[in-house]
Amino acid sequence: MNKKKMNTSSLYIIPLAVGYAIVALASLSIGRYGVGISDIIKILLSRILPIESTWTMQAEAAILSIRLPRIIASTLVGGGLALSGLVMQQVFHNPMVSPDVLGTSSAAGFGAALAMVLALPSALISPIAFCFGLISIALVYLVASKVPNNHVLGLVLGGIMISSLFSSLLSFVKLMADPEDTLPSITYFLMGSLSGVGIDDIKKVGLLIILSSLMLYLLSWRISLLSLHDSESRSIGVNTKLLRSMVIIFTVLIVAASVSISGVIGWVGLVIPHITRMIMGCNTKKTIPSALLLGAIFLTIADTISRTIAFSEIPIGIITGLIGAPFFLYLIVREGRRSDG
């Protein structure tokens, strides 16, 4: 009985997984150099099986060197940001919260901009951005420690302050940047893009995003308890403060790692959690894997649009904003009508 129930309850993930596979294959196929689905499958399988080559070298280069790394990156970043937004909204009891509520994105953006202004090697930009993302959470916790009676409020206030601080520092760095060379690079990074992502970048952060996401999934049933009052959670033996800290740390690791390779990409962590809850309800055992897949699907579609819709590539943050903002407005209006009804 329990096994049958478990198998039935896990079927919800199949349509999302199939949808992701379709989107990924379509993204591999679409581009200025079109490649057929059969050739794509052969090219991918040729990495592990002895398959006779019936495709062109240009097709193989387009798939393996350009599109596949971007799809892997959009999967990791999109899924990670969506999961981070979902968890942050649970932690702060606020559906309007996004993954950068603690200033991680602003700090990582500042770190990358600083590295560019200092003309450091491009290989150091992502690690420095990641390190500043981690610095932000340390500063937020330092501020939150000064509000001992309300830990959540302290985190929110700390996040607002640290985000504002790094945004100001970022503005100063942009003011100092060379307007002919460095400033456009900073601006492009802050609008988000996967154009420069390679396999080496994915190796640096991929495992971290995967492990942090896995830890959040393993904590999923406990995360549901964060919606309870701290005294209620303590009554059933859950240390809410420790749990909240663990969840926030794993979330910040995901956000910092994502921003370090893709730049600042908005709306994914705000819109996708709402869509996830509309489809799956509030059971974190279901919403966490669903948010991962929906975020991956959304960002893969957005990245495909960004590299194909115009002659020159459009920053992906613009695409996510054009899609996310109207849809979020629709969600707000929809909830308002439901409340009135």
Read off the pLDDT of residues 10-50 as tens digits, 9 standing for 90 and up. 677 899 999 999 999 999 999 888 888 999 999 999 888 88
What pLDDT was estimated at residue 115? Answer: 94
Question: b/e per residue, 94-126, with b = 16+ CB within 10 A?
Answer: eeebbbbbbbbbbbbbbbbbbbbbeeeeeeebb
**252 pLDDT exceeds 70?**
yes
Q: What is the mean pLDDT of residues 207-211?
A: 95
User: What per-residue confidence (pLDDT) applies to 232?
Assistant: 64
pLDDT the model gives residue 154: 86
**Token pair of 315, please?**
């920053």
- Give me the count of residues in the chain: 341
Query: Which carries the bigger pLDDT value, residue 140 or residue 234?
Result: 140
Paired tokens of 105: 């994105």
Confidence check: pLDDT of 9 > 60: no
Mean pLDDT of 266-288: 89
Locate the domains of the chain by residue range.
2-334
Q: Which CATH superfamily groups domain 2-334?
A: ABC transporter involved in vitamin B12 uptake, BtuC (1.10.3470.10)
Return the percentage of the chain with pLDDT > 90, whole number. 52
pLDDT higher than threshold 70 for residue 258: yes
Give mean pLDDT, residues 237-259.
88
Q: Which residues have C-beta within 8 Å of that of residue 6, sequence separation ≥ 6?
A: none
What pLDDT band is residue 339 in, cutting at 50, 70 and 90?
low
Q: Label residue 106 left, alpha or beta by phi (over 0 means left) and psi (-120 to 50 means alpha).
A: alpha
**Rg of the chain over all Cα atoms, to the nearest angstrom:** 21
Across the chain, what does the average pLDDT equal? 87
* pLDDT higher than threshold 70 for residue 326: yes
> Which range is most confident: 238-242, 274-278, 337-341?
274-278
Q: What is the pLDDT of residues 57-74, one digit of tens each?
A: 889 999 999 999 999 999
Its pTM stands at 0.90
234-266 burial string, b = 16+ CB within 10 Å, else e?
eeeebebeebbbbbbebbbbbbbbbbbbbbbbb
Which tens digit of pLDDT belongs to each residue from 91-148? 887 888 888 888 999 999 999 999 999 999 988 999 999 999 999 999 999 888 887 7
pLDDT at 234: 66
Residue with tokens 């990358």: 112
State mean pLDDT over 65-89: 95
Run of H or E residues at 23: helix 13-29
